[in-house]
Amino acid sequence: MPPRTTETTGRAPAATPSTPDGDRAGTAAPAPSATAAYRRLFAVPGARAFTAGNLLARLPMGMFGVSAVVMIAGARGSYALAGAVTATGLAATAATAPWIARLVDRHGQARVAVPATVLAVLGSLALVLCVRCGAPDWTLFAAYAATATTPNTGGMSRARWAHLLRRDPDALHTANSFEQAADELCFMLGPVLAAFLTGTFFPEAGTLTGAVLLLTGVLLFAAQRSTEPPPSPRTPAKAPLRAPGMPAQLAVCLAMGAVFGSMEVVTVAFADARGHQAAAGVALGLQAAGSCVAGLVYGAVRPGGPPGRRLPWCVAAMTALMTLPLLAATLTGSLPLLAGTLLVAGTATAPTMVTNMTLVQRLTPEGRLNEGMTLAVTGLLGGIACGSAAGGWTVEHLSPASGYTVPVASAALALLLSLARRNSRRG
C-alpha cells in the first residue's frame, strides 16, 4: 500500500521496489548489536516518555480477565458465570475496538483515548460495585461490556513509532519487535500480579489496581503530544477491511489467535489433571518468556525479503515447534518437560507476530493505521475465543493431552492460509 503523504500516514515510505506481494523487497542488511539497536531506538526524542506511559496502560490487559474471574467466582460461586461474563466482554471488545480505532485515526489519540479510557474505567468500577452489592447477574454482563471502550494502546504505540520512524524502516522493524516483546511481557506479568493482588488483599484488588494503572498510563501516554501522529479527519482511503489482501490477512490472524486460546485452556486442564493447577501459570509464563526474548533478538536483526514472503516461513516454524508440547504431553505426561517445550515453542511466536503486524501496516490504507491494526487484534481475539472453545471441547471429550492437537491444527491452518494469501497476491 503506497502512502501518498507520510505526514498523515505516519508510515515509512517505500525505499526499495515493490514485489508482487504488495510489499517492499529487501535484502538482509548487517545488523547492529541488540543493545545498539535499542539504544538507537530510544534515542528518538519523546520515545521513552510515551513508551513508559503505554507500558503502564498495557499491563492491565493481562490483569482484567483473571481478576474478573476470581472476583465473580468467589462472590457468586460459579466459574460458569465468571467465564460467561468475561466472554461477553471479549465479544463486546471485538465489536467496539475497530470503531474506537477509527475515531482515533480521525480525531487524534489524545482526544479519543482519554474519554474512551474513562468510560472503560467506570465500567470496571461498576462491575466491582455490582459484585460487592449482590446485584443481579445481568448487571455483571452490562458492566463488563462497558469496559470494551478500552483503546488499543499497543496499536497506538505502534502508530507513533511508524510516524516517528517513517524514513527508517530498519529502526521501525526494531520498534515493532520491541512492541511485541512488550505485549508478551505484559501478558506474562499481568496474570501473576492479578493473582497476587486478589489472593493477598481482597478479590476486587486486581480489578481496582488494573483500572488505576490503565487510567494513569493512558493519561501519561496522551500527554506526550509531540510524538502523536497527526489525525486524518477526511481521509479518502477505503476502509481497511476492504483493502486488497486485508481480509485474507485477517483470516491468518484468526487462525493464529486460535493457537493462543487453545494452548491456554489445554495447559490449564493438563496441569489440573495432575493436581498442579497453579503450575499452569508458570508453564504459560515460560511460553511468554520465550516469545519475549525471541522478540527482542528478532528486533536486533535485519531479516531479508518483504514480510509477505517471510510470514509463511515464520508460521511454518511456529507449527513445527507447536508439536513439541503435543509430544511431551502424549508421550511422557511430564509437566516439567511440557513447560520446557512451551518455552521453546514460544520462541516462534514473537517473530511471527512481528511479521504479521508489519504486513498489516503495509496493507492498511493511509490515514487509517490504528483501525487496521485494531482489526488485526480483533481477529486475534476472535481466534482466541474459538481456540478456547475448541480446546475446552477436546479436553472434555477426549483428554487433556489430546487437547494439544488443537494448537497444532490451528497453526497448520494459519500456515495454509498464509500460503494461499501469498499465492493469490503473486497471481
Q: What pLDDT is attached to residue 147?
A: 92
Residue 401 has φ and ψ, to the nearest 5°, of -65, -40
Task: Please state, as a whole number, how many other Cβ atoms lie within 10 Å of the Cβ of residue 414.
Answer: 29
Place 171 in a pLDDT band, splitting at 50, 70 and 90.
Answer: confident
DSSP 235-300: --PPPGGGSTTHHHHHHHHHHHHHHHHHHHHHHHHHHHHTT-THHHHHHHHHHHHHHHHHHHHHHT
Q: What pLDDT is attached to residue 17?
A: 40
Domain range list for the chain: 49-234, 235-427
Output the CA–CA distances (angstroms, integers) from residue 229 to 163, 164, 220, 224, 275, in the order listed. 6, 8, 16, 11, 50
Most distant CA atoms of the chain, gap in Å: 62
Fold of 235-427: Growth Hormone; Chain: A; (1.20.1250)
CATH architecture of 49-234: Up-down Bundle (1.20)
Least confident window among 113-127, 226-240, 349-363:
226-240
With a cut of 70, say whether residue 26 has pLDDT above it: no
pLDDT tens digits, 71-88 = 888 888 876 788 788 778
